[in-house]
Amino acid sequence: MTRDPKYDVLFEPVEVGPKTTKNRFWQTPHCNGAGSDRPGTQAAFRGMKAEGGWGTVCIEYTAVHPESDDAPHCCARLWDEVDVMNLGHVADEVHKHGGLAGIQLFYAGIHSQTGESRAIARVPSQAPSEAILANGVAEADEDDIRDIVQMHVDASLRARDAGFDVIEIIASDSMIVLQFLQPFYNRRTDGYGGSFENRARLWIEILEGMKEAVGSDCAIGNRFSVDTLEGPDGIEVGEDGIRMIELCARQGLCDVWDLKVGHYSELSGEIAPSRFTRTNYMAPWVREAKAASPVPVVSTGRLTSPDDMVEVIVSGQADLIGAARPSIADPFLPRKIEEGRPEDIRECIGCNVCLSKWAQAVPLICTQNATSMEEYRRGWHPEKFTKTKSPCSVLVVGAGPAGLECARVLGERGYDVHLREAEAEIGGRVRDIMRYPGLAEWGRVITYRQIQLDKLKNVEVHTGVGRMSADDVLAYGADKVVCATGARWAEDGFGPVLMAPLAGADASLPHVATPEQVMAGKDIGERVVVLDCEGYFTGVSMAELLADQGKKVTLVTSWDFVAPYTAYSFEFVDIMRMLHEKKIEPVVQHAALSVEPGRITLFYIYRDGYVRTTTPKRGVPARRMGTETVTLECDGVVLVTARLSQNGLFKELKARRDEWAANDIQAVYQVGDCQAPRLIADCVFEGHRLAREFESDDPQHPLPWIRERQIWGHEAFPKLAG
Amino acid sequence: MTRDPKYDVLFEPVEVGPKTTKNRFWQTPHCNGAGSDRPGTQAAFRGMKAEGGWGTVCIEYTAVHPESDDAPHCCARLWDEVDVMNLGHVADEVHKHGGLAGIQLFYAGIHSQTGESRAIARVPSQAPSEAILANGVAEADEDDIRDIVQMHVDASLRARDAGFDVIEIIASDSMIVLQFLQPFYNRRTDGYGGSFENRARLWIEILEGMKEAVGSDCAIGNRFSVDTLEGPDGIEVGEDGIRMIELCARQGLCDVWDLKVGHYSELSGEIAPSRFTRTNYMAPWVREAKAASPVPVVSTGRLTSPDDMVEVIVSGQADLIGAARPSIADPFLPRKIEEGRPEDIRECIGCNVCLSKWAQAVPLICTQNATSMEEYRRGWHPEKFTKTKSPCSVLVVGAGPAGLECARVLGERGYDVHLREAEAEIGGRVRDIMRYPGLAEWGRVITYRQIQLDKLKNVEVHTGVGRMSADDVLAYGADKVVCATGARWAEDGFGPVLMAPLAGADASLPHVATPEQVMAGKDIGERVVVLDCEGYFTGVSMAELLADQGKKVTLVTSWDFVAPYTAYSFEFVDIMRMLHEKKIEPVVQHAALSVEPGRITLFYIYRDGYVRTTTPKRGVPARRMGTETVTLECDGVVLVTARLSQNGLFKELKARRDEWAANDIQAVYQVGDCQAPRLIADCVFEGHRLAREFESDDPQHPLPWIRERQIWGHEAFPKLAG
The mean pLDDT value for A159-177 works out to: 95
For residue B142, count other CB atoms closer than 10 A to its CB.
10
pLDDT of residue A684 exceeding 70, the answer is yes
* 290-349 of A, contacting B, C-beta below 8 A: none
Report CB contact under 8 Å: B645, A138: yes
Counting Cβ atoms within 10 Å, is residue A548 exposed (0-12), middle (13-18) or buried (19+)? exposed
Taking only residues 425 to 484 of chain A, the set having a beta carbon closer than 8 angstroms to any beta carbon of chain B reads 437-438
Task: Quickly state the pLDDT bin for A174 (edges 50, 70, 90).
Answer: confident
Nearest to A488 by CA among A398, A571, A366, A590: A398
**Partner residues linked to B139 by β-bridges:** B123
Task: With CB atoms and an 8 Å threshold, state whether B676 touches A116.
Answer: no
Query: How many angstroms separate the first and last alpha carbons of chain A?
Result: 41
Taking CA–CA distances from B709, the nearest residue in chain A reads: A710
- For A406-455, the pLDDT digits (tens) are 999 999 999 999 999 999 999 999 999 999 999 999 999 999 999 999 99
- State the average pLDDT over residues A531-540: 98
Phi-psi region of B194 (alpha: psi -120 to 50; beta: other; left: phi over 0): left
Q: What is the pLDDT at residue A694?
A: 98
Mean pLDDT of chain A: 94
- Res B323: pLDDT: 97
**Where do the H-state alpha helices sit in B119-267?**
142-162, 176-181, 196-214, 242-251
Interacting residues of A390 by C-beta distance below 8 A, sequence separation 6+: A695
* Interface touch B118/A365, C-beta < 8 Å: yes
pLDDT at B616: 43
The continuous run of DSSP H or E covering A91 comes out as helix A81-96
Question: Residue B720 has what pLDDT?
Answer: 36
User: Which residues neighbour A506 within 8 Å (Cβ) at sequence distance 6 or greater?
Assistant: A491, A492, A512
* CA distance to partner chain A, nearest, from residue B308 (Å): 15
Nearest by CB to A363, which of B116, B236, B536?
B116
Contact A80 B278 (CB under 8 A): no
Answer whether B407 touches A (CB < 8 Å): no
Direct distance between the N- and C-terminal alpha carbons of chain B, in angstroms, rounded to an integer: 41
Q: What is the pLDDT of residue B624?
A: 42
Write down the pLDDT at residue B604: 87
pLDDT band at A263 (very low <50, low <70, confident <90, very high): confident
Confidence of residue A147 (pLDDT cuts 50, 70, 90): very high
**Best interface-test mutation with A: which of B83, B711, B719 has the largest number of A CBs within 10 A?**
B711
Arithmetic mean of pLDDT, A143-170: 98
Are A656 and A508 in contact, with CB atoms under 8 Å apart? no
What are the residues whose beta carbons fall under 8 Å from the beta carbon of B293, sequence distance 6 or more?
B245, B249, B257
**Cα gap B619→B31, rounded to integer Å:** 47
- Which A residues 539-568 touch B at CB under 8 Å? 560-561, 564-565, 567
Q: Which residue of B has its CA nearest to A264?
A: B622
A458-502 pLDDT per residue, tens? 999 999 999 999 999 999 999 999 999 999 999 999 999 889 999
Residues in contact with A344: Cβ distance below 8 Å, sequence separation at least 6, in sequence order: A336, A451, A452
Q: E strand or H helix at A532, and its extent?
A: strand A527-532
pLDDT at A701: 98
Contact: A438, B612; criterion CB under 8 Å: yes
Q: Which of residues 644-683 of B touch A (CB under 8 A)?
A: 644-645, 647, 651, 654, 673, 675-679, 682
Residue A550 parent element (H or E) = none
φ, ψ at A38 (rounded to 5°): -125, 75
| DSSP-assigned states of every residue in B556-572 | EESSSSSSTHHHHTT-H
pLDDT of residue B270: 72
Q: Residue B500: helix, strand or coil by DSSP? A: coil
- Predicted local distance difference test score (pLDDT) of residue A606: 83
Residue in A511, A570, A559 with CA at minimum distance from that of residue A532? A559
- What is the pLDDT confidence band of residue A612, given thresholds at 50, 70 and 90? very low
pLDDT interval class at A605 (50, 70, 90): confident
Give bridge partners of residue A482 from the DSSP assignment: A396, A669
User: Which amino acid belongs to residue B447?
Assistant: T
pLDDT at position A714 is: 60
Measured between alpha carbons, how far is B505 from B513 in angstroms, rounded to an integer?
Answer: 9
For residue A598, give the DSSP letter.
T
3-class secondary structure, B631: strand
Give the tens place of pLDDT for each residue, B506-535: 999 999 999 999 999 999 999 999 999 999
CA pair distance B686, A332, nearest whole angstrom: 49
In the prediction, which pLDDT does B274 show? 92
Euclidean distance between CA atoms B287 and A600, whole angstroms: 43
A700-721 pLDDT, tens digit per residue, is 999 999 999 988 876 544 333 3
* Per-residue confidence (pLDDT) for residue A629, from 0 to 100: 83
Residue B675 to residue A137: CA distance in whole angstroms: 8
ipTM above 0.85, yes or no: yes
Coil, helix or strand at residue B314:
helix
Closest CA to B270 of B185, B177, B355: B355
Contact A574 B357 (CB under 8 A): no
Query: How many C-beta atoms lie closer than 10 Å to residue A696's C-beta?
Result: 12
Of A477, A439, A432, which Cα lies nearest the Cα of A566?
Answer: A439
The parts of chain B modelled with pLDDT lower than 50 are: 609-625, 716-722
Residue B260 sits at the vertex; the CA angle it makes with B259 and B265, to the nearest 5 degrees, is 140
Nearest-Cα distance to chain B for A629, in Å, is 14
Cβ contacts (< 8 Å) between B676 and chain A: which residues?
120-121, 126, 136-138
A627 touches chain B (CB under 8 A): no
Q: Is B698 on the interface with A (CB under 8 A)?
A: no
Give me the sign of the Cα torsion angle A248, A252, A253, A254.
positive
pLDDT single digits (tens) A537-580: 999 999 999 999 999 999 999 999 999 999 999 999 889 989 99
How far apart are alpha carbons B122 and B127 in whole angstroms?
Answer: 11
Predicted pLDDT of residue A613: 37
Q: Please give the DSSP secondary-structure letter assigned to residue A711.
A: -
- Measured CA to CA, the distance from residue B579 to residue B547 in angstroms comes to 9
pTM over 0.90: yes
Provide the 8-state DSSP code for A373: T
- Tell me how close the Cα of A457 comes to any Cα of chain B, in angstroms: 31
CA distance B115 to chain A (A): 6
* Residue whose C-alpha is closest to residue B274's, from B217, B349, B345, B184: B349
Strands A297-299 and A256-261: parallel
pLDDT at position B276 is 87
Which H or E element spans position B13? none
